Amino acid sequence: MIILKNKEEIELMRQSALLVSKTLCEAAKMLRPGITSLTIDKMIGEFIYDHKAVPSFLNYRGYPFNSCISVNDVVVHGFPNNDALKEGDIVSIDIGVILNEWHGDHAYTFAIGDPGEELAQLIRATKESLYKGIEKAVAGNRVGDISFAIQEHTEKKYGYGVVRELVGHGVGKSLHEDPQVPNYGKRGSGPKMREGLVLAIEPMINLGTRKVYTEEDGWTVRTEDHKPSVHFEHDVCVKKGKADILSNYAPIEAAEKANANLFSDYYRQVVL
């Protein structure tokens, strides 16, 4: 069942999405070689509680952490752990909150230092594909128009692997609502979208094979060939003419840019 949101509800959902954006920004500021994902996850939990919200992933179907932190060949649902991040790693941080009963759920993939040309392109293309999908999230279109746009910009254009087993979704008072939003599909297929539909659109794109498997822990999803994978996610409200992106990458990108300066040769020689 698809649940449409009214104007007031959309504004509340924007607050939830923006709290996730702010939390991702704080996480971005911590990223550097030597830090562990568990340290970041602890900060994420504290930051969310400090803002009168609850980390929604914690205990969701038994999920044991505040956030999902997925490094390199981990596609999504990575457990934060005590391994030090190192230069060249790529790190997806996925955060959910419940604020005033409404869910925010979004994600960003960062590089630690310089990941190299091949990975930089994978990251850029995946982020671009998210925006290509969002362009199609307008009233009157169908969900398959979003799916098709993402697949075109990743699989068709670059030969990347588009994960089939995991999909985007509606979001609202529940973390996962109808409809499902696959990152592959046919133009003009799927449910028709109406104003007030809020979607979490989340391309999960692999450098190599699209095939993935889930580890013994029941959560960690990895690529079968152990090549890296990238994940970006926005919360988006369907509107007439142009989608309304509820989450905001601007503060996250500002923190990312500041980090890039930290990784300059100067920083490497003088500070580290």
Residues that bind Co ion (CB under 5 A): 105, 200
Query: Which residue's CB atom is positioned nearest to Co ion?
Result: 200
Query: C-beta of 172: minimal distance to Co ion in Å?
Result: 12
Residue whose CB is less far from Co ion, 147 or 259: 147
Query: C-beta of 233: minimal distance to Co ion in Å?
Result: 5
> Smallest Cα–Cα separation from 133: which of 171, 84, 182, 98?
182
Residue whose CB is less far from Co ion, 22 or 115: 22
Query: C-beta of 114: minimal distance to Co ion in Å?
Result: 29
Residue whose CB is less far from Co ion, 143 or 200: 200
Residue whose CB is less far from Co ion, 64 or 116: 64
CB-CB contact of 75 with 25 (8 Å): no
Residue whose CB is less far from Co ion, 122 or 181: 181
Query: C-beta of 63: minimal distance to Co ion in Å?
Result: 12
Residue whose CB is less far from Co ion, 115 or 133: 133
For residue 160, give the amino acid letter: Y
Query: C-beta of 202: minimal distance to Co ion in Å?
Result: 5
**Burial (0-12, 13-18, 19+ Cβ within 10 Å), 2:** middle
Query: C-beta of 17: minimal distance to Co ion in Å?
Result: 11
Query: C-beta of 14: minimal distance to Co ion in Å?
Result: 17
**Any residues with CB less than 8 A from the CB of 131 and at least 6 apart, and which?**
none
**Any residues with CB less than 8 A from the CB of 244 and at least 6 apart, and which?**
10, 236, 237
Residue whose CB is less far from Co ion, 41 or 105: 105
Q: Tokens for 73? A: 């060949």
